[in-house]
Amino acid sequence: DPKNNRIEQWLNVVPQDGIADLSFQLSDEPLLGTYVINVTNAKAYGSFFVEEYVLPKFEVIFKAPNQIYALDKTFPLQICGRNTYGKGVQGTVHVSLCQKIALFLPSASKPDLCQEFNNQTDEMGCFFTNVSLSSFSRDFRYYQNSIVAEALLVEDDTEIHVNASHKLLIARIGGMAFFDDVKSYYHTGEMYSGKIKVIDYQGKALKHKKVLLVVSCGEQEFKQKYSTGDSGTVSFRLNMTVWNNTSVFLEASVLHEGLDREPGTVDLSYQRDSYFIHLFYSTSRSFLSIVRVPETMPCGKKQAIQVDFRIYREDLEYGPKRVIFSYFVTGKRGIVHAGQKTIWVGLPRMLKGFFSIPLTFGTIYAPAARLVVYVVFPNGKIITDSAIFSVSMCFRNKVELGFSTPETLPNSEIGLHLLAAPGSTCAVWAVDWSVPLRNTGKELSSSLIYGLFPSVYSSRYPPQVSEDD
């Protein structure tokens, strides 16, 4: 208990299906504070907190951005009152928004910059306004880069009051351009491809933005302009014949478009991105490349993973020529799939093409699978590539849970529908709707379950493996 007294223990516990299901009853007036549960042999522990808590009659909800841009003129602010049944609360809202002085300045040197609103909630229990940023400062030498909003809602009939607060960060940049789906190396004689994405300060993709790509190679510099599409992304392909097998520096930036600045110049309100790429060293001129897929792979759906290749005759034996591409996939606990693909080569000096590997990303692949493709030539040379694919966090046992009706009267009965595989061990958690609101982030979720066993899903070598240079 909170005073470190042992109040319950279990000895020689034998789990059933890997789960030890134990319970004990708290006293009517338990000590308040943190209780700790220790599993001595496994050196594991858990904890829970006991506190006095009275369910509020209603809650106050802020609907406002978590981050605003310093050059914005206004931002939307909505404050709503909701009772435990989800209905709107009628009452008066008192709101104050303050930008405090910088932490290192004495409190008397400058006043806090504040705005206040007092208004009645509408029929939905909400109050909405557009807040002007003219009352706040963009000079972060003297003021913090955040605005603290505090709201007090007083219910009309009962005069019960509930308060809440919200913090809005003031972003100094309007967004950023960054490289996406790019490799840290390039192959001689091949086109280098990648993507540039532009987002605003809230992480939303920006379409039709002018982007400048600068390629620096030794003393040479090349510039290319692009425009983002509807997804805020632009694809580029670069000719590497002029790179002379040296390291290359890429830089992406957003260009001005408005009349207030010279169009075509770099917009410094957007963060730039840079990337170094190097020549891929190999004893063979042949190479292969797995085409990356940035999206998360859905569970149970068959996907065709493309592999591009370029094979030179010098790496092949005389007579009928064929290339055997071997591949394997690692997921939970090692290799989960393996196979081969044979390509017959004709007479040309070089064979260039692609093939597809059909993969169905099931539960044994989640949450990330690594595909390795390689070729061992008769002359002993090897070419290879690997790629990691994100897989949705799914489970083999599909579960359905739901109530017979979404809404009912107090003290009435309701049906609960639970569907799972036969013989499943099921745990059902049911609490008042307002309780989990105070502990958001602690609900059972796929990421929480997968996070219990991080070592199982690691695609890296274990530390015991050593490789000689």
Query: Does residue 64 lie within any of the structural domains?
Result: yes
For residue range 271-291, list pLDDT tens digits in order: 999 999 998 888 888 889 999
Please give the DSSP secondary-structure letter assigned to residue 88.
B
Contacts of residue 188, defined as CB under 8 A and 6 or more positions apart, other chains included, come to 240, 245, 279, 285
- Rounded to whole angstroms, the Cα distance separating 365 from 329 reads 8
- Whether residue 132 sits in one domain with residue 83: yes
Region 131-146: mean pLDDT is: 91
- Whether residue 342 sits in one domain with residue 303: yes
Of 148, 171, 194, which residue is a domain's last? 171
* Of residues 357 and 85, more confidently modeled: 357
Query: Does residue 465 lie within any of the structural domains?
Result: no
Q: What is the per-residue pLDDT for 442?
A: 64
Tokens of 230: 């509807």
Element containing residue 461 per DSSP (H, E): none
Contact 79, 63 (CB under 8 A): yes
Residue that is written with structure tokens 């602690």 in the block: 442
Please give the DSSP secondary-structure letter assigned to residue 105.
S
Query: Does residue 468 lie within any of the structural domains?
Result: no
For residue range 325-351, list pLDDT tens digits in order: 999 999 887 899 999 999 887 656 678
For residue range 139-167, list pLDDT tens digits in order: 888 899 999 999 999 999 899 999 999 99
Query: Does residue 120 lie within any of the structural domains?
Result: yes
Query: Does residue 464 lie within any of the structural domains?
Result: no
pLDDT at 259 over 50: no
Query: Does residue 461 lie within any of the structural domains?
Result: no
Find the domain containing 344 and state its range: 287-390
How many structural domains comprise the chain?
5
- Rounded to whole angstroms, the Cα distance separating 192 from 188 reads 10
- Whether residue 195 sits in one domain with residue 272: yes
- Whether residue 153 sits in one domain with residue 64: yes
List the CATH number of the domain containing 326. 2.60.40.1930
Of 371, 390, 409, which residue is a domain's last? 390
- Whether residue 419 sits in one domain with residue 373: no
- Rounded to whole angstroms, the Cα distance separating 221 from 231 reads 28
- Whether residue 343 sits in one domain with residue 304: yes
- Rounded to whole angstroms, the Cα distance separating 105 from 260 reads 35
Tokens of 391: 């897989």
Region 307-323: mean pLDDT is: 81
Region 393-405: mean pLDDT is: 90
pLDDT at 360 over 80: yes
Q: Which of 72-81, 232-241, 255-264 has the lowest mean pLDDT?
A: 255-264
Q: What is the mean pLDDT of the chain?
A: 86
Q: What is the per-residue pLDDT for 108?
A: 65
Residue type, 100: K
Please give the DSSP secondary-structure letter assigned to residue 91.
E
Query: Does residue 419 lie within any of the structural domains?
Result: yes
- Whether residue 270 sits in one domain with residue 302: no
Percent of the chain with pLDDT strictly greater than 70: 90
The 3-state DSSP class for residue 277 equals strand
- Whether residue 337 sits in one domain with residue 320: yes
Q: Assign residue 334 a region: left if phi > 0, alpha if psi is -120 to 50, beta otherwise? A: left
Of 171, 199, 227, which residue is a domain's last? 171
Residue type, 191: M
- Whether residue 250 sits in one domain with residue 204: yes
Tokens of 94: 């008192």
List the CATH number of the domain containing 70. 2.60.40.1940
- Rounded to whole angstroms, the Cα distance separating 81 from 60 reads 5
Tokens of 309: 């290749």
- Rounded to whole angstroms, the Cα distance separating 369 from 348 reads 36
The 3-state DSSP class for residue 304 equals strand
- Whether residue 153 sits in one domain with residue 114: yes
- Rounded to whole angstroms, the Cα distance separating 79 from 97 reads 13
pLDDT at 32 over 70: yes
Query: Does residue 469 lie within any of the structural domains?
Result: no
Q: What is the per-residue pLDDT for 404?
A: 94
Q: What is the per-residue pLDDT for 77?
A: 95
- Whether residue 304 sits in one domain with residue 202: no
- Whether residue 68 sits in one domain with residue 162: yes
